[in-house]
């Protein structure tokens, strides 16, 4: 039963923090507005995201696109639970990030069920400046900013990065000969 302790503690904590912070934003900041916190670097904003991570596919307006996102979340949840079930009893380096990813996925899923979109509110940028340059004969122009995100997104990203680093850099035990 101790194996499942992270699964019963981490997702509910992430979901609670995610939904509480989003409710604060809903109550205090109108959609599309921002409050500078660290001038020229970090703002609290109120954006809505109908897409996935980093607002990818946000402009997808096809009928039924919400059902696609529901299905993806359900499949991801089942996959995460299956991966978790197959972890070794003491393998917290797998269990904790899987539980964090699950908590984040469910936090955003709740938003999709409630609003049909996800509330994003953490926005890092560099003085709202544009990068505008040529490289190898191609022109690039973009805002020096990270797309707005939320607590659930941060949990998913941190959990996924931890798993990637674990896979890439953790030494494999060699069987004794």
Residues with active-site annotation: 120, 153
> SS3 for 131?
strand
Q: Which residues contact 151 (CB under 8 A, 6 or more apart)?
A: 14, 17, 18, 21, 22, 104, 107
Instruction: For residue 128, give the 3-state DSSP assignment.
Output: strand
Cα–Cα nearest to 84, from 64, 101, 66: 101
Q: Hey, what's the torsion of the CAs at 84, 108, 13, 121, to 10 degrees?
A: 140
Measured between alpha carbons, how far is residue 32 from residues 29, 35, 123, 139 in Å?
Answer: 8, 11, 12, 29
By C-alpha distance, which of 159, 155, 177, 176 is closest to 167?
A: 159
């Amino acid at each position: 039963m101790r194996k499942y302790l992270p699964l019963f503690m981490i997702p509910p904590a992430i979901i609670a923090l995610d939904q509480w912070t989003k409710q604060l934003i809903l109550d205090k900041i109108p959609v599309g507005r921002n409050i500078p916190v660290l001038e020229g670097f970090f703002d609290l904003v109120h954006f809505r995201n109908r897409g996935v991570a980093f607002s990818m596919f946000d402009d997808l307006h096809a009928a039924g696109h919400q059902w696609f996102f529901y299905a993806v979340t359900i499949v991801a949840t089942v996959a995460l639970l299956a991966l978790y079930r197959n972890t070794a009893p003491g393998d917290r380096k797998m269990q904790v990030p899987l539980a964090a990813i699950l908590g984040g996925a469910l936090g955003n899923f709740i938003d999709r069920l409630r609003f049909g979109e996800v509330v994003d509110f953490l926005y890092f940028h560099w003085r709202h400046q544009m990068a505008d340059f040529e490289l190898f004969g191609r022109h690039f122009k973009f805002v020096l900013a990270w797309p707005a995100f939320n607590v659930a997104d941060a949990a998913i990203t941190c959990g996924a990065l931890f798993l990637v680093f674990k896979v890439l850099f953790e030494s494999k035990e060699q069987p004794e000969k």
